[in-house]
């Protein structure tokens, strides 16, 4: 790598490692003595996840084990040797599970319908079973920040729920803890990193299924915003970490029915009649938004005078 390129790569690597380290710490994802099963699909995200976790394993003050697991779903054309070759060369402990979910999915799902949801359900069940067999205490998945935001928007648009993809969760059967250490990492950083590291990527469309169309549309929308309004995705992610139940509308989450005037000013002051604060930090605001904020702020200033 030329000097300038090397400098750029070092910065990128540092940023991804820092993002992963922060997520692990913020959510207490990995503890001393953990055996972490890293799910490796052969895509850019899971290679990056494994690579960064291996680095953190070397420098962390705690001790934990890593075992990479790939599920060979018997899709036609799946290059069986790629992952074992890579993992052996890297000296990573790994296990390849062979389960022909491809045939099941093809048999059960009518032609032309998307097969992804049944396929992922089957995959999930198998991975949980394998985690038990391997004595894994954590299951690490390669979802990143952009996946979390896309999921939030998809749930809002099509599911009627304010719900994203959590960085850490207990599985439905209550038996495992799933972690997403890339939760703070940007997809574009991961893509650049995977390219620079020349990971032997296995294409994800071998099964011939269409990627979920709605997700594709949301992804394109976010990418468009990112170009037009830099900082908007960061702001949306911050929103996931700054939830204000009293300013949403879920009576299960906040006791709206029983709230009473107390006669005492709230700690944050009364903002009931103020225009909404659009963003938390000027760093996230593009010029148009700043203009809009300035316009919104005028009546407040006049009111104060």
- Does position 39 interact with ligand SF4 (CB under 6 A)? The reply is no
Q: Is 207 annotated as a binding residue?
A: yes
CA 275, distance to chain mean position in Å, is: 32
Kindly tell me which of 19 and 45 has the beta carbon lying closer to ligand SF4: 45
Cα separation values, 153 from 34, 54, 114, 183, 241, Å? 33, 32, 20, 16, 15
DSSP H helical segments within the chain, as ranges?
3-26, 44-59, 82-90, 101-108, 116-134, 145-154, 187-197, 213-228, 232-240, 287-304
Smallest distance, ligand SF4 to C-beta of residue 117, A: 8
Smallest distance, ligand SF4 to C-beta of residue 150, A: 15
Among 116, 134, 162, 191, binds ligand SF4 (CB under 6 A): 116
Q: What does the alpha-carbon distance between residue 190 and residue 19 come to, in Å, rounded to a whole number?
A: 11
User: Please, how many CA atoms are within 13 Å of residue 145, restricted to the half-sphere of its CB?
Assistant: 25
- Does position 120 interact with ligand SF4 (CB under 6 A)? The reply is yes
Q: What does the alpha-carbon distance between residue 77 and residue 89 come to, in Å, rounded to a whole number?
A: 23
Q: What does the alpha-carbon distance between residue 298 and residue 160 come to, in Å, rounded to a whole number?
A: 35
Q: Are 289 and 229 in contact (CB under 8 A)?
A: yes
Report the length, in residues, of the chain.
Answer: 305
- Does position 207 interact with ligand SF4 (CB under 6 A)? The reply is yes
Binding segment (CB under 6 A) for ligand SF4, from list 13-21, 54-62, 201-209, 225-233: 201-209
Kindly tell me which of 117 and 238 has the beta carbon lying closer to ligand SF4: 117
Q: Is 39 annotated as a binding residue?
A: no
- Does position 70 interact with ligand SF4 (CB under 6 A)? The reply is no
Among 83, 143, 209, 219, binds ligand SF4 (CB under 6 A): 209
- Does position 214 interact with ligand SF4 (CB under 6 A)? The reply is no
- Does position 119 interact with ligand SF4 (CB under 6 A)? The reply is yes
Kindly tell me which of 117 and 228 has the beta carbon lying closer to ligand SF4: 117
Q: What are the residues binding ligand SF4 (CB under 6 A)?
A: 115-116, 119-120, 204, 207, 209
Question: Residues at the annotated binding site for [4Fe-4S] cluster?
Answer: 116, 119, 207
């Amino acid at each position: 790598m030329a000097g300038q390129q090397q400098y750029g790569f070092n910065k990128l690597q540092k940023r991804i490692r820092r993002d992963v380290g922060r997520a692990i710490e913020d959510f207490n994802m990995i503890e001393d003595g953990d055996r972490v099963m890293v799910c490796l699909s052969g895509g850019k995200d899971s290679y990056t996840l494994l690579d960064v976790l291996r680095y953190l394993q070397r420098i962390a003050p705690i001790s934990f084990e890593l075992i990479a697991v790939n599920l060979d779903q018997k899709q036609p054309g799946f290059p069986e040797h790629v992952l074992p070759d890579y993992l052996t060369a890297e000296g990573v402990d790994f296990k390849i599970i062979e389960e022909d979910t491809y045939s099941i999915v093809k048999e059960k799902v009518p032609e032309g319908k998307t097969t992804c949801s049944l396929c992922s359900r089957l995959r999930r069940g198998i991975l949980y079973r394998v985690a038990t067999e391997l004595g894994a205490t954590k299951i690490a998945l390669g979802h990143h920040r952009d996946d979390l935001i896309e999921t939030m928007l998809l749930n809002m648009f099509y599911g009627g729920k304010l719900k994203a993809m959590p960085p850490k969760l207990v599985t439905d059967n209550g038996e495992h803890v799933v972690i997403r250490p890339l939760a703070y990492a940007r997809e574009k950083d991961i893509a650049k990193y995977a390219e620079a590291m020349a990971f032997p990527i296995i294409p994800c469309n071998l099964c011939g299924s269409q990627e979920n169309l709605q997700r594709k549309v949301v992804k394109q929308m976010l990418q468009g915003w990112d170009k037009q309004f830099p900082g908007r995705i960061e702001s949306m992610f911050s929103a996931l970490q700054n939830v204000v139940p009293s300013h949403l509308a879920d009576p299960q989450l906040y006791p709206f029915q029983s709230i009473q005037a107390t006669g005492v000013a709230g700690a944050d002051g009364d903002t009931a009649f103020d225009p909404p604060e659009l963003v938390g930090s000027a760093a996230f605001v593009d010029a148009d938004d700043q203009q809009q904020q300035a316009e919104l702020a005028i009546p407040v200033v006049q009111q104060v005078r």
